[in-house]
Structure 1
Amino acid sequence: MDQEGRQDLRRRLTATVVLVLFALVAIAMASFAWFSIADQAKARQLALTANAGNSLRFDLDAHDSFDQYVSTLGFNQIAARISSEQGVDIDSSKLQPVTTSDGQSFTYEDGSEAQVQTGAYLEFTLHFISHEDVVVRLTGEAGRNGEAGTAFSSSVDGLPQAMRMSFTCDGRTWIYDPNLGSSVSTSGGVTTFGIPAGASSEVADMFSLVAETDKSTIVRIWLEGTDPNCTNMIKGADYAVTMRFEGIEQLDEQGQQ
């Protein structure tokens, strides 16, 4: 190869190297799901409200009578319980991107197990009770007194869509995914559902209650690392979680309540 040919080859190789470097820089700057765990989402609000014609109530403990249960639980009560049981300070802890197939056990991106005691996800138990035989439904519909319906919220776009919550009892788990709308799917004892915005839908029906009988349900809240919205854009953002439950009276074989 003559000198001119060698110079031309050198120029082509240089151009190729530059293009590869640009490509590597672009990849490094892009946002992906599973953002860095160096800076996570911080809880600022967590509220629960039950309102079903006074027939449905709950609490953080089981009680001897219906009247000892409540229709509303707030951030401070739930935070104190999580702190006492898990040693996690919600007000200063941050959720970490995790994933799960059953809504009960969680792993990080590398497959290692996420421990609830680290605050990677939140977990607490609710005890439900009703005067009637009912199905407990998670609803997006507001209450008669203005109680907010079930929703994730944040000042940062994308964060609410990356969050999930699950409810486990009776050997089953129900997962609320805000991206599913009115869709529902069941696989291996796990039901995943959405909630129509501001509405109540039977797709969000979960476990049943027998009148005057306490039922404990484990609640978990997490940031789903595999969700497309779980990117660097939501790192460090505050979020709020509101849950609202309804007691839906069951019908007999003749369709009567």
Structure 2
Amino acid sequence: MEDKTLQELQQELTKLKKAQARVKRKFTFLLSIIAMLVLITATLAWFTLSNFASVNNIDLKISTAPQLYLDIENRGTDVSLWKKVLTTDMVNTALRSQNAPVLDQQIMDPVTSSNGITFSNRSGRTRNANDTSYVEFKVWFIATADMWVHLSGQKVQVEGKDATTACTTKETGGKADVIRAVRVSYEDSGKAAIWEPNKGGAVAGQSTFDVSQNFSNDTRIFHLDKLTPKQITFRIWAEGEDPECDNDVQDAQVTFEMLFGGTDENNSAFD
């Protein structure tokens, strides 16, 4: 009887060890899943603290194509009435006319957009322009020749001042990553080209471009017919799906400089 009881105890001990081994394997597997989820979450940044930065400056400068001009308003076909440079103050005037905050009062909480036109927050809720989400304003363009308009990475003189296309910040450390977390789109007739400064991997289904000193079909933003004004909608946002859009860049400030140039059908620049 005692031998049989000892055998039963040994069998129970064996079963217990097997059960412990199964639990251990399941626990290890669970830890692996959790680790994978942490890694995935880390790539979908979306900072979680209070508010994002103000945009402290936007300068729009045009050169490369002497035939290309712009303004906040449609000035008609007399190009002498148009401008070569738009300043922050001019954009602020346009925003005030829309009862929208001026640029240094804008707050951009992260949003995401696959097309540069419609935007949503992390939970998928639609967000509106100039309402703690993304900045939106409209600019008119005109040219004295048929042309494709591009963002130019060249450095030139416009009205006696240096001009180029750049996204910069005075921040240091982790905050400096803000220049890789923002986007600018240019909408023409329901389609938008998206500039991704310091372009990295594609996110949110976006098709983006970065500036270059060489023009190509890939850098075309929109087309202008000779002496035919066209209105382009500009949108600036912090892309929540970008890995750099995390808590490190909160309260950072960013400056955009945009230099537009024009080319013919063969992507040869006007001079």
TM over 0.5: yes
> What are the within-5 Å matches in structure 2 for residues 21-170 of structure 1?
33-36=45-48, 38-64=50-76, 65-145=78-158, 146-154=161-169, 155=171, 156-170=175-189
TM-aligned CA deviation for residue 245 of structure 1: 0.2
TM-aligned CA deviation for residue 117 of structure 1: 3.7
Runs of 4+ residues deviating >3 angstroms: none
Mean Cα displacement is larger for which, 99-108 or 50-59?
50-59
Aligned-partner Cα distance in 2 for 1:247–1:223: 28
Aligned-partner Cα distance in 2 for 1:212–1:31: 46
Structure 1 partner of 2:4: none
Aligned-partner Cα distance in 2 for 1:151–1:230: 19
Q: 1:63 to 1:173 in 2, by over 3 A?
A: same
TM-aligned CA deviation for residue 53 of structure 1: 4.1
Aligned-partner Cα distance in 1 for 2:192–2:250: 28
Q: 1:159 to 1:37 in 2, by over 3 A?
A: same
Structure 2 partner of 1:175: 194
TM-aligned CA deviation for residue 83 of structure 1: 2.7
TM-aligned CA deviation for residue 113 of structure 1: 1.1
Number of aligned residue pairs: give it: 225
Please state which structure has a larger fraction of its residues in strand. Answer: 1
Matched residue SS, 2:56: strand
Contact 1:31/1:231 (CA < 8 Å) preserved in 2?
A: no
Contact 1:31/1:233 (CA < 8 Å) preserved in 2?
A: no
Cα deviation, 1:155-203, whole Å, max 9, x if unaligned, reads 232100101010111332111112438x99xx9xx8521223xx23323
Q: Which runs of 5+ in 2 are unaligned?
A: 1-26
TM-aligned CA deviation for residue 31 of structure 1: 9.7
Q: What TM-score, normalized to structure 2?
A: 0.74
Structure 1 partner of 2:221: 206
Mean Cα displacement is larger for which, 147-156 or 222-231?
147-156
Aligned-partner Cα distance in 2 for 1:60–1:238: 24
Counterpart among 208, 211, 227 of residue 192 in structure 1:
208
Aligned-partner Cα distance in 2 for 1:112–1:96: 13
Q: Which amino acid aligns with 2:255?
A: A
The question of 1:243 aligning with 2:262 is answered no
Q: Which amino acid aligns with 1:116?
A: A
Q: Which amino acid aligns with 1:228?
A: P
TM-aligned CA deviation for residue 86 of structure 1: 4.7
Q: 1:107 to 1:138 in 2, by over 3 A?
A: same
Q: What TM-score, normalized to structure 1?
A: 0.78
Matched residue SS, 1:242: strand
Q: Percent identity?
A: 26
Contact 2:115/2:192 (CA < 8 Å) preserved in 1?
A: yes
Structure 1 partner of 2:19: none
Q: Which amino acid aligns with 1:215?
A: K
Q: RMSD over aligned Cα, in angstroms?
A: 3.0
Q: Which runs of 5+ in 1 are unaligned?
A: 1-15
Cα deviation, 1:102-142, whole Å, max 9, x if unaligned, reads 11011111111111141411111111101111100111211
TM-aligned CA deviation for residue 249 of structure 1: 2.4
TM-aligned CA deviation for residue 57 of structure 1: 0.3
Matched residue SS, 1:112: coil
Matched residue SS, 2:103: coil
